[in-house]
Amino acid sequence: MTVAAPGTDLSRPPTAADARDQVRRLLTTPAAQPADTVLDDVLLVVTELVTNALRHGGGLTAFAARLDGGALVVSVTDASPTAPHTVPRTDAATPGGFGWRIVQRLCRQVTVTPVAGGKTIEVVMAAYPEG
């Protein structure tokens, strides 16, 4: 079953903060509340994906989030055909460079698909605590 937040336009939020707000509304309902740690992880991944699309991917061209059973599926499309990668770090004091590692570590599944004019990254995460 797929559920979308009522009245929420998930096509292209202008900022990572807007994308986080949309996903928070999707996950937080009177019937279900994600654990704080689950919500923190989800919002961190959303932030990383949208920020990287805006900063390194030539701009965010599409965004979608949906519930599929107990899983959250987030899809981010940007304007760059270049697949995400981790840049080797030579100086531990240099900021940044951890986003893609964070996404890979926190998600059950990560898929990068080339699309016309860029790529789509789809991730699957637990939406609510298991058990």
Q: Which of 26-30, 33-37, 79-83 has the highest mean pLDDT?
A: 79-83
pLDDT of residue 8: 40
Measured CA to CA in angstroms, residue 45 lies from 36, 75, 125 at distances of 14, 11, 9
Q: What percent of the chain has pLDDT over 90?
A: 68
CA 51 to CA 62: how far, in whole Å?
A: 13
With 90 as the cut, is the pLDDT of residue 13 above it? yes
Give the residue-averaged pLDDT of 115-124: 96
Domain ranges in the chain are 10-85+98-126
- Cβ-in-10-Å burial (0-12, 13-18, 19+) of 46 comes to buried
pLDDT of 43-90, one tens digit each? 999 999 999 999 999 999 999 999 998 899 999 999 999 999 887 777
- The answer to whether the CB of 84 falls within 8 A of the CB of 100 is yes
With 90 as the cut, is the pLDDT of residue 42 above it? yes
Provide the mean pLDDT of the chain: 87
CA 112 to CA 92: how far, in whole Å?
A: 28
CA 21 to CA 9: how far, in whole Å?
A: 11
Question: For 130, what's the count of Cα atoms within 13 Å in the CB-facing half-sphere?
Answer: 5
Which helix (DSSP H) or strand (DSSP E) does residue 124 occupy?
strand 118-126
CATH node for 10-85+98-126 = 3.30.565.10
pLDDT of residue 95: 64
- Where do we find the tokens 């949309």? 22
In sequence order, which residues have a C-beta less than 8 Å from that of residue 21 and are 6 or more positions away? 13
